[in-house]
């Protein structure tokens, strides 16, 4: 067996001999609820509408429900459409390490297969814990971003691992599920370079679609290329370089729920800008932002970030997010409409802003998400610094915080129903969850 996959299989077997700690289970339930909230906000987004038009209705031997309606599809396509909803608004959870990624991208494929096969909430929590542990370990091991590959490549591995755990695959089938998912799912970083397209918010969903496809084939004995990591033409040689995978339990405890729909490296900046908006007096003359290198590389340096033309680029632009927040208040899903993308006030303020990388902030990342913003007006200078925003694992979301996010996105009544169900998720079946999120009460 491939040496990397052997460690993943061993971790799954160890999990099978113990129970998930209560704090891990509680945080996983919050992440699943959060993924549904963020999905609701994108249920009518342009790419989701296109996907539904292309693929629905779809019949197969197995079928899974598409969120917020009566549509059904094969589990892989349901995972793709639901995953696109989860990811599109850039509002789902984040993990920061050598690689930055979004662990809850693993949830839609688990729910799709669990719905098709009638698993319960406890089985999904176990599988989600597995997926979170694996994707966190991969992010800790090596960054593939600077080699030109996108982080969603890791989702194909972790989602397949979670699915293999969910379906109780033996070690051989487990290995094949991962190799079938990974081999053809190496995603190019061009997805997040320059002007960003719809694919930015959907490529993780495609990785999860491939994971479902591979896991279902592997479950019936279909074999994949091996050793997929360590082989002559494997992942080490072609993509990542050699690394050692150390998988710790409870990775979800170090993930962060997003308080605003912005690329996570801009989260502290958005919160500080919002705080400063309430303090500054006079006309803004200049904005100075101190940040760290990873943020600069991902969401500042490209010229397209200074004049974003799409919502996908704008929610990945710290200059746009800071300017928007100082002028208009907290970012929300509507903050990236054409009205604001062409707002001369926002564009003018971007031009009167500077961004600087500091050694101090570089040394704090990724354990912290530091930023310092100074706003100079004709009435004086106003400065605020932050090391970690609300929702960071150092300032974790409570159920009340999550309910408030749900109120903002899906309305108080829908949020209350979802929170009540998810707090006891382990006692319910996935088909019950699908009934809850497809209920007429969700059609505001």
Average pLDDT over residues 265-285: 97
Residue pLDDT, tens place only, 82-135: 999 999 999 999 999 999 999 999 999 999 999 999 999 999 999 999 999 999
Residue pLDDT, tens place only, 137-160: 999 999 999 899 999 999 999 999
Contacts of 388 (CB under 8 A, 6+ apart): 268, 368, 369, 394, 395
May I ask the CATH class of domain 264-386? alpha beta
Can you give the pLDDT at residue 131? 98
Can you give the pLDDT at residue 349? 98
Distances (CA, A) of 152 to 139, 210, 335, 401, 413: 11, 11, 25, 28, 34
Can you give the pLDDT at residue 442? 58
Residue intervals in the chain for CATH 1.10.4100.10: 3-259+419-440
pLDDT of residue 423 exceeding 80, the answer is: yes
pLDDT of residue 443 exceeding 60, the answer is: no
Nearest of 106, 119, 109 to residue 215 by alpha carbon: 109
Strands 371-377 and 95-96: what pairing?
A: unpaired
Residue pLDDT, tens place only, 190-223: 999 888 899 999 999 999 999 999 999 999 999 9
How many angstroms from the chain centroid is the CA of residue 392?
A: 14
Can you give the pLDDT at residue 440? 46
Question: Average pLDDT, whole number, for the chain?
Answer: 96
Of 15-19, 46-50, 201-205, 318-322, the poorest mean pLDDT is in: 15-19
Nearest of 161, 153, 158, 79 to residue 114 by alpha carbon: 79
Residue intervals in the chain for CATH 3.30.1330.120: 264-386
Distances (CA, A) of 336 to 112, 152, 311: 30, 23, 5
Cis-peptide, bond into residue 366, ω within 30° of zero: yes
Q: How many CA atoms lie within 13 A of 215 on its CB side?
A: 28
pLDDT of residue 441 exceeding 70, the answer is: no
Average pLDDT over residues 150-173: 98
Residue pLDDT, tens place only, 363-379: 999 999 999 999 999 99
Integer Cα distance of 364 and 48 in angstroms:
37
Per CATH, the number for 3-259+419-440 is 1.10.4100.10
pLDDT of residue 341 exceeding 70, the answer is: yes
Of 13-17, 47-51, 282-286, 322-326, the poorest mean pLDDT is in: 13-17
Which tokens is 137 given? 């370990």
Sign of CA dihedral 354, 101, 333, 307: positive
Average pLDDT over residues 224-240: 97
Q: How many CA atoms lie within 13 A of 248 on its CB side?
A: 11
Query: Using CA atoms in the order 191, 192, 195, 200, what is the torsion angle rounded to 10 degrees?
Result: 60
pTM of the complete model beyond 0.85: yes
pLDDT of residue 444 exceeding 90, the answer is: no
CB 130 within 8 A of CB 248: no
Integer Cα distance of 403 and 400 in angstroms:
5
Start-to-end Cα distance in the chain: 51
């Amino acid at each position: 067996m491939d040496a990397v996959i052997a460690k993943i299989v061993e971790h799954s077997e160890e999990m099978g001999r113990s129970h998930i700690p209560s704090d891990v289970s509680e945080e996983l339930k919050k992440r699943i609820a959060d993924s549904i909230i963020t999905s609701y906000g994108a249920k009518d987004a342009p790419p989701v509408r296109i996907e539904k038009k292309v693929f629905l209705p779809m019949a197969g031997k197995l079928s899974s429900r598409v969120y917020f309606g009566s549509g059904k599809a094969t589990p892989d396509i349901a995972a793709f459409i639901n995953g696109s909803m989860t990811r599109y608004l850039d509002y789902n959870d984040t993990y920061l390490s050598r690689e930055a990624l979004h662990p809850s991208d693993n949830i839609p494929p688990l729910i799709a297969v669990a719905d098709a096969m009638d698993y319960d909430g406890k089985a999904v929590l176990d599988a989600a814990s597995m997926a979170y542990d694996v994707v966190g370990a991969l992010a800790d091991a090596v960054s593939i971003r600077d080699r030109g590959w996108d982080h969603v490549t890791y989702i194909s591995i972790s989602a397949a691992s979670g699915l293999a755990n969910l379906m109780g695959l033996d070690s051989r089938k487990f290995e094949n599920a991962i190799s079938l998912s990974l081999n053809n799912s190496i995603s190019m970083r061009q997805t997040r370079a320059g002007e960003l397209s719809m694919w930015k918010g959907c490529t993780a969903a495609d990785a999860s679609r491939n994971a479902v496809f591979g896991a279902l084939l592997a479950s019936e004995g279909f074999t994949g290329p091996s050793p997929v990591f360590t082989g002559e033409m494997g992942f080490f040689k072609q993509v990542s370089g050699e690394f050692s995978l150390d998988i710790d339990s409870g990775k979800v405890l170090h993930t962060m729920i997003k308080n605003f729909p912005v690329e996570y490296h801009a989260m502290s900046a958005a919160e500080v800008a919002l705080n400063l908006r309430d303090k500054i007096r006079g006309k803004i003359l200049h904005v100075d932002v101190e940040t760290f290198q990873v943020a600069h590389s991902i969401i500042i340096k490209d010229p397209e970030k200074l004049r974003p033309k799409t919502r996908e680029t704008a929610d990945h632009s710290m200059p746009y997010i800071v300017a928007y927040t100082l002028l208009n208040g907290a970012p929300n899903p509507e903050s990236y409409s054409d009205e604001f993308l062409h707002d001369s006030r926002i564009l003018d303020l971007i031009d009167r802003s500077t961004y600087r990388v500091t050694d101090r902030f570089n040394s704090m990342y990724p354990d912290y998400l530091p930023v310092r913003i100074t706003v100079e007006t004709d009435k004086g200078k106003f400065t605020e610094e932050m090391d970690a925003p609300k929702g960071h694992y150092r300032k974790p979301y409570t159920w009340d915080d999550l309910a408030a996010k749900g109120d903002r996105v899906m309305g108080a009544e829908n949020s209350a129903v979802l929170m009540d169900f998810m707090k006891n998720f382990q006692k319910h079946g996935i088909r019950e969850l699908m009934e809850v999120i497809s209920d007429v009460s969700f059609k505001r």
